[in-house]
Amino acid sequence: MPYNHINQDLLNTITDIVGADSVITGQTEIENYSHDETEDLIYYPEVVVKPQNTDQIAALLKLCNANQIPVTPRGAGTGLAGGALPVNGGLLISMERFNRIIAIDEQNLQATVEPGVITEVFMNAVAEKNLLYPVDPASKGSCYIGGNVANCSGGPRVVKYGTIREYILNLEVVLPTGEVIWTGANTLKYASGYNLTQLLIGSEGTLGIVTKIVTKLIPRPTQDVLMLASFASNEDACAAVSAIFRAGVVPSALEFMERKGIEWVIEHDGIAFDLKDDIGAFLLIEVDGSNQDVIFGDCEVINGVLEQYNCKDVLFADSSAQKEELWRIRRTMAVSVKSNSVYKEEDTVVPRAALPELINGIKQIGGKYGFSSVCYGHAGDGNLHVNIIKAGMSDEDWNNKLKDGITEIFELTISLGGTLSGEHGIGLVQKNYMPLKYSDVHFAIWKGIKQTFDPNNILNPGKIFN
Amino acid sequence: MPYNHINQDLLNTITDIVGADSVITGQTEIENYSHDETEDLIYYPEVVVKPQNTDQIAALLKLCNANQIPVTPRGAGTGLAGGALPVNGGLLISMERFNRIIAIDEQNLQATVEPGVITEVFMNAVAEKNLLYPVDPASKGSCYIGGNVANCSGGPRVVKYGTIREYILNLEVVLPTGEVIWTGANTLKYASGYNLTQLLIGSEGTLGIVTKIVTKLIPRPTQDVLMLASFASNEDACAAVSAIFRAGVVPSALEFMERKGIEWVIEHDGIAFDLKDDIGAFLLIEVDGSNQDVIFGDCEVINGVLEQYNCKDVLFADSSAQKEELWRIRRTMAVSVKSNSVYKEEDTVVPRAALPELINGIKQIGGKYGFSSVCYGHAGDGNLHVNIIKAGMSDEDWNNKLKDGITEIFELTISLGGTLSGEHGIGLVQKNYMPLKYSDVHFAIWKGIKQTFDPNNILNPGKIFN
């Protein structure tokens, strides 16, 4: 169905709904909302609004639904799959003013927050009460918790504490038709009706706009140990991953980093790091808990495993500052890679024992197509972020042949029991690869669900599968 | 849409699909499939089949879809909400022959099982490999894992290890149209498309028939301590629950049992138990882990909390046999109550700090309507099973007025931030209460989803919301 443009009448009504100071139409300011962190894609919305409450969003969606205006909800714009790009123009709803932590309920270990709260701000607020919200994407310092819900975002600590699905209890959602519902109840579990909370998580803003989030919290562990293990090869490092769990230990983080990633972090961020010549890859391993003996015991077990997998050296962080420094290396890796080259990021996930085969295969495919790659990610979850680097590839090959190489990467991922995207979502840039994994039956079901929520396809069209 | 009956032609085709020895039509044998564990409801299917593979189920559903025959999938028949009752007659598909543990993948800490595997059989099989599948409903000795998926079943250990949603990675499903899909990937997480795995969990056999299940496993804790704390009143016991978590401890089980439940277990099962006159309620508390000092430390913290909440006495189980005996009391409580009275079971769930208010309110509502009740359940999750006992109520009041009392119980539950059913599902017997919590918008979305999967409404019709 063709979309309409926002004419002056509609703009007046929009302005009436949110107030003049919450409407942006000027080209300079609107530019900020034309891109996210996905490569260099730019799509301009016609109008940006910054609503402040649920009623305003309901009124906006009702208006757009009645007038066939596409609507793109946007969190912090840190997405890596183009999910927040307004590919059909129309109205962009920025959630930046939904930034209140409404309540931290210490009786029930729950919190109610608005979706525009920065994830780390929320984590710190609950930490002050000795509580943990463990879903911490690398971009936690800038991303919004609402974006995390929309993209089913992960992070290092999923490996021990479970996915975001375990921590989101209830959502207030404005549907594309302007109706407002709570998806479930403020309870740790429920079994009544198809679970709309879970359906909304990971729906990338295509089914509704989340306006309140109720989260589960857990007691905060009091101690942790962080170690950096170095290996000669990617394969050795990756092979050690599943062995650690088989030894009976569940670390609170188990991150893989390729040598090249560290090199670029050193170069880009000026971080002092003694990178030895014979090291090809690293595992960053954190063990947390509330008892030092247990943590040390787990570290001993892990050390024993690492030795069996040709680990060259293990550095134990000996201060908070050193821990922060090691984490900074991991977290800034994406930005460092981006600032060093033309790149494309792909997000792969496999059963964790398949990691060695995955990373070797990626390198072979790179050799065939002429691209290099920098890989890192949440190895404990089998989740590898693959940054494809243009390097010596010709523009023509980059623009035309690379997609065949990416297709081969995903075919390999799928053949190993995995799928596209562990935690970045499909958005705009991965949707053409979806048929590699999913059949017409999946697409028909997804479209049927979308149609149920959004009969006029106004909400974030052009994403995931449509 | 009216349904058709299974005529001789259809019966012949059904017999061709599954083989004559897998078809039951005789009234005596079919009686076994006419009820589950829900009160005394009886609905006869026209034909029962016991297929052995996915292809047979696909052919059966295709046939029934083309001929507008209602189909009811059935696990072990241990459900408490009538979800497996063939209310429209038609074909009942028993999953009892899908009883193979296909693979326990120790490399990836995953397993692939058929849905007709008894939950405890599966738990024991993975325990032999020092692994844990922690979702253990009270009926684990007889229920099927497929039924657990369909009902989003819980159990005591959800409180520490998370819900079944965290442990089901991927599902092979036959859709009502006969098409077969895998819902997702064999990975610990993924963010690609609306999550059909999560949508199927808790859909009570209305969206598809699950034929294979891929589960996550975790390392098995090596030790546990089990204690039984006694209190003068329900309120004291319930108030202690949320305080334990606030003190920073997450027990591996935290079960509430009312005095009356224990009395009936003693009477029904002849279990020796010294039930003191001044005790009104109990908490059964388990702490597990792999380090004795940590477990004992947690028990000390818990003890400190219990003292503050007027705990009368704490019994520590001093042997495996005593642990088993205490767990047996909790697990047989439902059966004991059933065998002692005409009853109705309701499943309520609230934020856990609201438990005292919930249980007091239930007793008050009972006083108003003249019913007594026996309450027990997974207090750590805020999940209270309410067994309503006919006792001195007249038949007329039981048949006509009780539903107003149940309505009041659910209204109270909802007003406390909770909902109907923490883990038993809605099935047949709770569906009339659903409008207390959910709006027309929820129903419209659920019906739209149902329509997408099952355009002719042949699969388990008459359940949850339709």
Q: Give the pLDDT band of residue A17 (cuts 50, 70, 90).
A: very high
User: What is the C-alpha R_g of chain A?
Assistant: 22
**Element of type H or E holding B125:** helix B119-127
Q: Give the pLDDT band of residue A143 (cuts 50, 70, 90).
A: very high
3-class secondary-structure state, position B142: coil
Mean pLDDT in residue range A4-30:
97
Nearest CA in chain A to B195: A199
The fold of B221-334 is Alpha-Beta Plaits (3.30.70)
Best CA proximity match to A283, nearest among A334, A232, A325: A232
Nearest CA in chain A to B453: A445
User: What ipTM did this prediction achieve?
Assistant: 0.97
Instruction: Collect all residues with Cβ–Cβ distance below 8 Å to A338 and sequence separation of at least 6.
Output: A37
The pLDDT tens digits along chain B (466 residues) read 689 999 999 999 999 999 999 999 999 999 999 999 987 899 999 999 999 999 999 999 999 999 999 999 999 999 999 999 999 999 999 999 999 999 999 999 999 999 999 999 999 999 999 999 999 999 999 999 999 999 999 999 999 999 999 999 999 999 999 999 999 999 999 999 999 999 999 999 999 999 999 999 999 999 999 999 999 999 999 999 999 999 999 999 999 999 999 999 998 887 888 999 999 999 999 999 989 999 999 999 999 999 999 999 999 999 999 999 999 999 999 888 888 788 899 999 999 999 999 999 999 999 999 999 999 999 999 999 999 998 889 999 999 999 999 999 999 999 999 999 999 999 999 999 999 999 999 999 999 999 999 999 999 999 999 8
3-class secondary-structure state, position B253: strand
Q: Tokens standing for A276?
A: 């030895």
CB contact under 8 A, B184 and A159: no
Separation between Cα atoms, residue A386 and residue A353, nearest integer Å: 17
**Is residue B248 left, alpha or beta, with left meaning phi > 0 and alpha meaning psi from -120 to 50?**
left
Q: Tokens standing for B435?
A: 């409008």
| pLDDT exceeds cutoff 70 at A1 | no
**Element of type H or E holding B236:** helix B234-246
* B442 close contact with A: CB closer than 8 A: yes
- What is the 8-class DSSP label of residue A4? P
* A178 close contact with B: CB closer than 8 A: no
What does each C-alpha distance from B350 to A187, A358, B132, B370, B411 come to in angstroms?
6, 44, 27, 24, 12
- The structure tokens 């999946």 sit at A442
Task: Give start-end residues of each CATH 3.30.70.2190 domain in chain A.
Answer: 221-335
**Amino acid symbol at B44:** Y
* A440 close contact with B: CB closer than 8 A: no
Closest chain B C-alpha to A197 CA, distance in angstroms: 10
| pLDDT exceeds cutoff 80 at A395 | yes
Task: Give start-end residues of each CATH 3.30.465.10 domain in chain B.
Answer: 101-219
Instruction: Collect all residues with Cβ–Cβ distance below 8 Å to A366 and sequence separation of at least 6.
Output: A372, A373, A388, A405
Separation between Cα atoms, residue B327 and residue B325, nearest integer Å: 5
* B308 close contact with A: CB closer than 8 A: no
What does the pLDDT read at residue B267? Answer: 87
**Element of type H or E holding A23:** strand A23-24
Strands (E), B185-278: 209-216, 218-219, 223-231, 253-258
pLDDT single digits (tens) A354-377: 999 999 999 999 999 999 999 999
Instruction: Tell me the β-bridge partners of A131.
Output: A219
| Buried b / exposed e along A283-303 (16+ C-beta atoms within 10 A) | bbbbbbbbbeebbebbbeebe
The fold of A221-335 is Alpha-Beta Plaits (3.30.70)
Instruction: Please check whether residue B35 is in contact with residue B41, taking contact to mean a CB–CB distance below 8 angstroms.
Output: yes
Q: Which of B106, B297, B441 sits opposite A246 (nearest CB)?
A: B106
Best CATH choice for the domain B101-219 from the list 3.30.2130.10, 3.30.465.10, 3.40.50.720, 3.40.640.10: 3.30.465.10
Q: Tell me how many helices (H) and strands (E) chain A has.
A: 15, 19
| pLDDT exceeds cutoff 90 at A268 | no
Count other C-beta atoms under 10 Å from residue B239's C-beta.
Answer: 18
* B192 close contact with A: CB closer than 8 A: yes
Q: Tokens standing for A27?
A: 């080209």
Separation between Cα atoms, residue A386 and residue A373, nearest integer Å: 7
Best CA proximity match to B348, nearest among B438, B423, B429, B282: B423
Separation between Cα atoms, residue A386 and residue A462, nearest integer Å: 24
Instruction: Please check whether residue B319 is in contact with residue B274, taking contact to mean a CB–CB distance below 8 angstroms.
Output: no
pLDDT single digits (tens) B187-208: 999 999 999 999 999 999 999 9
Count other C-beta atoms under 10 Å from residue A433's C-beta.
Answer: 22
The DSSP annotation for A196-262 comes to: HHHHHTTSTTSS-EEEEEEEE-EEPP-EEEEEEEEESSHHHHHHHHHHHHHTT---SEEEEEEHHHH
Distance of CA B403 to the CA centre of its chain: 22
* B292 close contact with A: CB closer than 8 A: no
**Element of type H or E holding B242:** helix B234-246
Separation between Cα atoms, residue A150 and residue B191, nearest integer Å: 10
Strands B311-316 and B343-349 turn out to be unpaired
**Element of type H or E holding A343:** strand A343-349
Instruction: Please check whether residue B75 is in contact with residue B146, taking contact to mean a CB–CB distance below 8 angstroms.
Output: yes
A129 neighbourhood in chain B, CB within 8 Å? none
**Is residue B181 left, alpha or beta, with left meaning phi > 0 and alpha meaning psi from -120 to 50?**
beta
Separation between Cα atoms, residue B81 and residue B426, nearest integer Å: 6
> Which of the residues A171, A187, A459 would you substitute to probe the B interface, choosing the one with the greatest number of B C-beta atoms within 10 Å?
A187
| pLDDT exceeds cutoff 70 at A244 | yes
* B175 close contact with A: CB closer than 8 A: yes
What does the pLDDT read at residue A322? Answer: 95
Q: Tell me how many helices (H) and strands (E) chain B has.
A: 15, 19
> Exposed, middle or buried, A368 (CB in 10 Å: 0-12/13-18/19+)?
exposed
Indicate the CATH number for domain B8-96: 3.30.43.10
| pLDDT exceeds cutoff 80 at A51 | yes
- The structure tokens 């027309």 sit at B440
Best CA proximity match to B138, nearest among B238, B36, B253, B35: B253
Task: Give start-end residues of each CATH 3.30.70.2190 domain in chain B.
Answer: 221-334
Q: Give the pLDDT band of residue A391 (cuts 50, 70, 90).
A: confident
| pLDDT exceeds cutoff 80 at A321 | yes
Strands (E), B302-443: 311-316, 343-349, 372-378, 383-389, 419-420
Q: Which of B187, B421, B441 sits opposite A350 (nearest CB)?
A: B187
Best CA proximity match to B161, nearest among A191, A190, A380, A162: A162
Task: Give start-end residues of each CATH 3.30.43.10 domain in chain B.
Answer: 8-96
Q: Tokens standing for B61?
A: 């559903």
